[in-house]
Amino acid sequence: MKRAAKIDDNQSAIVQHLRAIGCSVQSLAAVGKGVPDLLVGRRGVNSLIEIKDAAKTASRRKLTEDQVIWHKLWRGQISVAHTPAEAEAVVMVAEKWAELRTA
């Protein structure tokens, strides 16, 4: 029997905010195994974002063992966001980095 994906309480607000600034957002939460929560695209640039809830204690915001391993092994961009503003900053930095690479 497959378990339901565990989604942080703030994920919905973060997704809404990202969509409001023109992002496409795909939840990857059901994949599990340390894979980040969101795949976000904007202006031809993709970002992977792990969502952690800023309202929780620091010990409950830590990456799981699977997430730590996944982050270490992933050879591309991966970020952690606690708020809509942090998630937006991830997207903006990724866009700026992509612009600099093509300049």
What is the domain extent for residue 97? 11-102
Helices assigned H by DSSP within the chain: 11-20, 65-73, 84-102
CA trace torsion 17, 6, 41, 56 (10° rounding): 50
- CATH number of the structural domain spanning residue 78: 3.40.1350.10
pTM for the whole thing?
0.91
Q: If you average pLDDT over residues 4-17, what whole number do you get?
A: 88
The gap between the terminal CA atoms of the chain, to the nearest Å, is: 50
**Domain for residue 4, yes or no?**
no
C-beta separation of 96 from 103 below 8 A: no
Number of domains in the chain: 1
For the segment 56-72, what is each residue's pLDDT rounded down to a tens digit? 999 889 999 999 999 99
For the segment 78-100, what is each residue's pLDDT rounded down to a tens digit? 999 999 999 999 999 999 998 88
Predicted confidence at residue 1, as pLDDT, reads: 44
**Domain for residue 61, yes or no?**
yes
Mean pLDDT for all residues in the chain: 93
**Domain for residue 3, yes or no?**
no
**Domain for residue 5, yes or no?**
no
**Domain for residue 55, yes or no?**
yes
Q: Band of the pLDDT at 8, cuts 50, 70, 90?
A: confident
